[in-house]
Chain A
């Protein structure tokens, strides 16, 4: 009887210490308690199979020790936080600017998927203008360029030195491109540039592909992007690989699933033909 009780106590202790220890191995750090970060965290936990400790940087300072094997950082603030040297970092919803122990979950879908979806949205697409400003986007732009060749689309790359040049660049490409694509570049995508490009698109009837569904709701013609939940899920899959110690071939991981969102009002004002089949294909349609 005593042996049984002792075994039960040992088992409970083991489980508690094991769980605690495991929970401390993987920690989530959120830049804020924004609903978008929370949505991504839920996606992560769904794929991870259990909840993990999380810190909201708006109200607390994350406590990351040497025991923490992996941090999932959501947002720019969380990404730029200094973590222990041996701690692995999977960064979501930010640009890739870390070292080799950092694995970034791209906000943008893979270029191949982007072009595939763009061809679906706009079969007549021949010339696509792509704006970018952050140096961290250079590699993604390169992949986009390669993908454009294989999709027989001419990519007009517009590298912005600063936001003030957006109007000039837009005037330059006027009547030269069939659509404008905005990658998830945090330096580029701000309220002013978005409004400027959206108005240009509307005035010149050029489809404007934004990097998030939220921006489609705000007036962009359409988007080819992953959801924040999907980014969290991809982060969970990547974290699991990292913890297993498998060799990493790249520091950038593209989410698997890509969604199409269409703003019907903006689409009607552009050359985009919204067919019933296209609406059927779309994951989200805004009136």
Chain B
């Protein structure tokens, strides 16, 4: 619904309501005014003749009252006039037939009892009339009564009452004429005023509002520069001015908005790229096997990728706030800390810096650190960001490889030497055995010759060992063997030696072991070598235990354990015992090739050998050899 319609709907009922109320009130008041006017006219006639009425009442004759009543009737254009005594009896009446009649109706009684004039509108014989009463008082007044009473009533004597009835026909006609004239004027004036007010409202309010509405519509369609005319200084004019200012601002800010849109789009793209980059980093960081971290300038971790839990056992949140050198292993902590602090001070790039750290469970972990300083624009060190790679296993492999290479080199050397020695040694041994066979008993050369033979045999064994070590041995063919049977053979060879060294040999061979694919001689050689070393480690006797069993870890292996109760191997030597030519025995008693051969032969079978030794308590070698499923018993 349009505003103008609402205004019409508001103003028209309001106008009608106003006119209605005014009509009702006006009619009522007009009637009252005219009635009062008629009453005053009648009353003035009575009051003006008060003394005459008083004297006429005092006379009490019809001849004295009647002229006065007739005069009153004529003057008031009345219908009738009468003089009553206080009992309601008619003393004189303009209608002389009414004389001496007594009136007892309520209106007459009320008028007779009232000390003041009374008027009442009434209908007599269908005619609207106005009945007026006025009391008549005696004229006997003391000469000083006004002086004393100041005009107030002072017990005058009531002589009677004049009651006059006036026709209201003419008065009502006049009232109707006046009323309709007034109503016409009222309708014309109020209607005109309302219409004028409506027109004024439309012109003053709706027209500027319409312009504003058109302007707003244009702006809503994108015509930001739309202006509306400012036609006044009132609130609507201010509104139009503000609208114009708004559109101007809108025009100015629209350009900025486009730019802002571009910037927002760019920023959104950048944020998306950043989020993508961050997500990618998080993904790479979480999936990377390397530990990615970040520290502040003090070396405190501010970020750590989750893989640190795998590498060092710490959760990332456990490391936040801790210094990186808190993780260094005690042995190298001081050195590495100093080195790192110096690097921090110089803002150096750390490239593949190996460092020994301590796992949460206490194990040592070797990390290789590559890191770059994070520097502010002003050159201030903000921190370091880097990657640590766990190279513990690699280092072990490298060590093993180095060991292997060393053995390989020694083997090649030994093979060459053995090959060159083998022939002359064969000749020496042949001739020595030949001579020993031919000399008689008691020959003084027997001992030297047998010594030569025995040493030659020892040399031959040595050479044979060297050849085995260098894989030049002809006896490296593998076949399915029963480990326990192999052990029996080996133990028979060791048994004599244990007895001479007061060593108790305990054999605990596990039942039902699967066969393994191996070179029987070499496995025997391994066990004999380990047993000989064990016997040597127990110079005062002891217990040598040979045990076979199905390995629990790693599964699918058969393990052979050789344990002694000897002196044990110092920790610092445990890493070197598999090195070729490393021996702790006296010169001439050991070649230093025994354990190297053992190591070589075990690995040649795809197995592994582990050492567990404690000084003063003994040593245990555990050999694990893979089981071939096809050879299950």
Interface residue ranges, A against B (CB under 8 Å): 31-34, 36-37, 58, 75-77, 93-95, 107, 184-187, 189-191, 194, 211-212, 214-215, 217-218, 228
Bound CA–CA A190/B144 (angstroms): 8
A77 touches B142 (CB 8 A): yes
Known pairs A212-B150, A214-B150, A218-B150; A93 contacts B144 (CB<8 A) = yes
CB<8 Å pairs between A and B, sample of 16: A31-B142, A32-B142, A36-B149, A37-B148, A75-B148, A95-B144, A184-B147, A189-B147, A191-B146, A194-B146, A194-B151, A214-B149, A214-B150, A217-B150, A218-B150, A228-B148
**With A217-B150, A218-B150 as given contacts, are A76 and B155 in contact (CB-CB < 8 Å)?**
no
Residues from chain B with Cβ under 8 Å of A107 in the complex: 147
Whether a CB of chain A sits under 8 angstroms from the CB of B573 is no
Query: A184, A186, A211: which contacts B143 (Cβ < 8 A)?
Result: A186
Q: How far is the CA of A209 from the CA of B31 in the complex (A)?
A: 43
Residue of A nearest to B153 (CB): A34
B146 touching A34, Cβ below 8 Å: no
| Complex contacts, B142 vs chain A, CB 8 Å | 31-32, 75-77
Interface residues of B in 110-167 (CB under 8 A from A): 142-152, 154-155
B151 to chain A: which residues have CB within 8 Å? Answer: 191, 194, 214, 218
Decide: A76 near B154, CB < 8 A? Known: A34-B149, A93-B148, A212-B148: no
A94's contact among B144, B149, B150, B155, by CB below 8 Å, is which? B144
B148 near A34 with CB under 8 A, answer yes
Total A-B residue contacts, Cβ distance less than 8 Å: 55
State the CA gap A186–B150 with chains docked (Å).
11
Inter-subunit contact B143/A32 (CB<8 Å): no
Instruction: From B147, B152, B155, give the contact of A186 (CB < 8 A).
Output: B147
Query: Contacts of B147 on A, CB cut-off 8 Å?
Result: 107, 184-186, 189-190, 211-212
Distance, CA A173 to CA B534, complexed state (A): 169
B148 interface neighbour in A36, A194, A218, Cβ under 8 Å: A36
Compute how far the CA of A215 lies from the CA of B147 in the bound complex, rounded to whole angstroms.
8
Check B146–A187 contact: CB distance below 8 A: no
> How far apart sit A185 and B142, CA to CA, in the bound complex (Å)?
13
Give bound CA distance, A2 to B576, whole Å: 168
In angstroms, Cα B149 to Cα A217, docked, is 11
- Contacts of B155 on A, CB cut-off 8 Å? 32-34, 58
- Closest Cβ neighbor of A210 among chain B residues: B150
User: 9 closest pairs, A vs B, by CB?
Assistant: A214-B150, A186-B144, A189-B147, A215-B150, A186-B143, A34-B154, A36-B148, A76-B144, A190-B146
Main secondary structure on chain A at its contact with chain B? loop
How far, in Å, is B151 (CB) from chain A's closest CB?
A: 6
Min CB–CB distance B571 → chain A (angstroms): 123
**Contacting pair A214 B152 (CB below 8 A):** yes
Chain B residue numbers with a CB within 8 Å of A186 are 143-144, 147
The chain A residue sitting closest to B157, CB to CB, is A58
| A215 cross-chain contacts in B, Cβ below 8 A | 150
Q: Which residues B344-397 have CB closer than 8 A to chain A?
A: none
Interface residues on B, range: 10 to 19
**Distance (whole angstroms) from the CB of B156 to the closest CB of chain A:** 10
Are A189 and B146 in contact (CB-based, < 8 A)? Answer: yes
Residues of A within 8 A of B145 (CB): 34
CA distance A120 to B18 in the complex (A): 56
Give CA–CA (A34, B155) in the complex, Å: 7
- Nearest A-chain residue to B147, judged by Cβ: A189
| Minimum Cβ distance to chain A for residue B564 (Å) | 137
Closest to B145 in A: A34
Find chain B residues with CB under 8 A from A184 CB: 147
Q: Nearest Cβ in chain A — how far from B47, in angstroms?
A: 13
Of B145, B150, B155, the most chain A CB neighbours within 10 A belong to B150
Q: Which residue of B lies closest to A220 (CB)?
A: B150
A214–B147 alpha-carbon span in the complex (Å): 9
User: Which chain A residues border B154 with CB–CB below 8 Å?
Assistant: 32, 34
How far apart are the CA atoms of A187 and B142 in the complex, in Å? 10
Q: Which of B144, B145, B147, B149 has the most CB of A within 10 A?
A: B147
Q: A208 CA to B149 CA in the complex, in Å?
A: 18
Quick one: closest B residue to A193, CB to CB? Answer: B146
CA distance A76 to B145 in the complex (A): 9
Chain A residues positioned under 8 Å from B148 (CB to CB): 34, 36-37, 75, 93, 212, 214, 228
Give the complex CA separation of A265 and B149 in angstroms: 21
Residues of A with C-beta under 8 A to B150:
212, 214-215, 217-218
Closest chain-B Cβ to A259's Cβ sits at a distance in Å of 15
- Closest chain B CB from A77 CB (angstroms): 6
Find the residue from A77, A186, A194, A217 having the highest chain B CB count within 10 A: A186
Q: Give chain A nearest CB distance to B75 CB in angstroms.
A: 23
Q: In B597-633, which residues have CB < 8 Å from any A CB?
A: none
CA distance A48 to B279 in the complex (A): 122
Distance in Å from the Cβ of B140 to the closest Cβ of chain A? 10
Known: A94-B144, A212-B147, A214-B151. 5 other contacts (CB 8 A): A34-B149, A75-B144, A190-B146, A212-B150, A214-B150
CA distance A77 to B147 in the complex (A): 14
B144 CB → nearest A CB, Å: 3
| CA–CA, A31 and B143, complex, Å | 12
Give CA–CA (A118, B144) in the complex, Å.
24
Chain B residue at minimal CB-CB distance from A213: B150
Q: How far is the CB of A39 from chain B (nearest CB, A)?
A: 10
Min CB–CB distance B478 → chain A (angstroms): 143
Complex interface: chain A residues within 8 A of B143 (CB): 76, 186-187
**Cα–Cα distance between A190 and B141 once the two chains are bound (Å):** 11
Query: How near does chain A come to B264, taking the closest CB pair, in angstroms?
Result: 79
Query: Once the chains are docked, how many angstroms separate the CA of A280 from the CA of B145?
Result: 31
Q: How far is the CB of A42 from chain B (nearest CB, A)?
A: 15
Question: Please, how many angstroms separate the alpha-carbon atoms of A36 and B149 in the complex?
Answer: 7
- Give the distance to chain A from B157, nearest Cβ to Cβ, in Å: 9
Closest to B154 in A: A34
Question: Chain B contacts of A190 at CB under 8 A?
Answer: 146-147
Could you say which residues of chain B place their CB within 8 Å of the CB of A95?
144
Give A75 to B147 CA distance when docked, in angstroms. Answer: 11
Contacts of B149 in A (CB 8 A): 34, 36, 214
Complex Cα–Cα for A30 and B632 (A): 164
- Tell me the bound Cα distance from A190 to B142 in angstroms: 11
A281 vs B149: C-alpha distance when bound (angstroms): 25
Interface residues of B in 202-248 (CB under 8 A from A): none
User: CA separation between A190 and B128, bound complex, in Å?
Assistant: 41
- A95 to B143 CA separation, bound complex (whole angstroms): 11
Q: How distant is the Cα of A217 from the Cα of B147 in the complex, in angstroms?
A: 13
Nearest Cβ in chain B — how far from A70, in angstroms? 22
By beta carbon, the residue of chain B nearest A195 is B151
Kindly state the separation between the CA atoms of A185 and B144 in the bound complex, as whole angstroms: 8
Q: How far is the CA of A103 from the CA of B561 in the complex (A)?
A: 168
CA distance A107 to B148 in the complex (A): 9
Contacts of A37 in B (CB 8 A): 148
Complex CA–CA separation, A185 to B146 (angstroms):
11
For A187, the chain B residues whose CB sits under 8 A away are: 143
Q: Report the minimal beta-carbon distance from B486 to chain A, rounded to whole angstroms.
A: 145
A33 to B143, CA, bound (A): 16
